[in-house]
Structure 1
């Protein structure tokens, strides 16, 4: 696909570089910006100058490149692209196995609403949008016949699709997973006060002023993050076909409208960004009442 279509980030970081007096000077705040998995990325490190943080940011960039080589839909040489093209991936990486294991868990918890095998349906609509046409009912039915996570066989030796034409997208979970990986890397270096935004947001510690990291939601409200992550999804956040009202999040069960539902944003808070990412994708399809049945002590859903 020539045009990269990514999820619009519904959360905007409102954390300004507040200061904490240290020997009469403000605590340094190092900042990195770039792109990862098709999304804007930003990292803030409290207590390091730009020069001190430079080697660490270089390591992060290398790690981002390594993980993109696993999960990117837009790199023909990525492990995910090879799996989708060939229907089989030999000796999958530990990261690929971990993400698929989590996807299977969330798939079960959400009664099938989180399902990364919706990629054929996404690709069908994207192709038709690029051609200025709409898919026919038979094409949609054929794409839907390929959906179903039970059709993906996963083992340490290989990942295999049971049906030709199946494909996976990790766009509803990989950004959160990568966010967690970068946060873990920073923690391993002894950093305690960090904000990581790799499409989803993970906060460690506090801002330089000792307060939680401030995050603005899509409705203009604000909250503070402390030692947790937040991910957001909206049916209208990114449109595959704006004229037809087709959004980028497809219901794998074929239940109800996809993009013409109320434009609510599901903001899921969890200690892990990958979990928040996956649940927010399913939550926006389920709606507030159904999401309550998924409740757990570690997870909070805020609608905006």
Structure 2
């Protein structure tokens, strides 16, 4: 399959782009993104998803040399809970896309796409980001073990060995997730996300901010600097045991918080060195496009043969 469309589904957005499969790069002019109301009806959500994907399909169809009879592969970077093998959404009790509960995305989405000649594949969004993060490295790391994290409204993570997501084993946390693990008596999701920064700033200054981490980074007063240094310390303390256990050689960091890395990356790397942990830290500026690239790798048939039987049900 020479044309692949990668799709990134977020809690409030969808992004879509066509990928040149032999080199795994986004084809110019095919990237589209739009806001989605995740609390809308099934029909409204699917129509919006299809609208963005159809923009990409239109460009692909008008590309010189495109064969109209050729099947297009559509690969999704999809948050859970989701049946990744079957494409059935299991969103329930997580305040997003609940109208899609028990809906077959391939069957229902197909009704809104402008072509029926497509094939669907799905993978967890954190895993897609991790795979994409490896693909974006200028040189593939010698140590094939990679940890990828996304720092934003939530705390996503993936453990990969030679691009394959690892979710079970003595050297990885249960389900390959970190958000639900504990740090300082709290969920890691509460400690390494936007709400932690907002809470810390309010506690330090009495001022309540609403625009997120970028707003704190732009202020760059003594309170902001201290908060980012504390964040670097906490992130080191939390991640260090997992890095050592997994023997990771590369840590990929994305998400909106990563865009403010100038305020935490240097102390974070210094803290790792002080623990005698040596690994490459790679900051990814565009998490969505990286996830799109990672999802497209599902149509690398060698990769697909290795991963398809291991796809989690949820």
Shorter-chain TM-score category? Answer: under 0.3
Q: Calculate the TM-score normalised by the size of structure 1.
A: 0.23
Q: Calculate the TM-score normalised by the size of structure 2.
A: 0.22
Higher helix share: 2
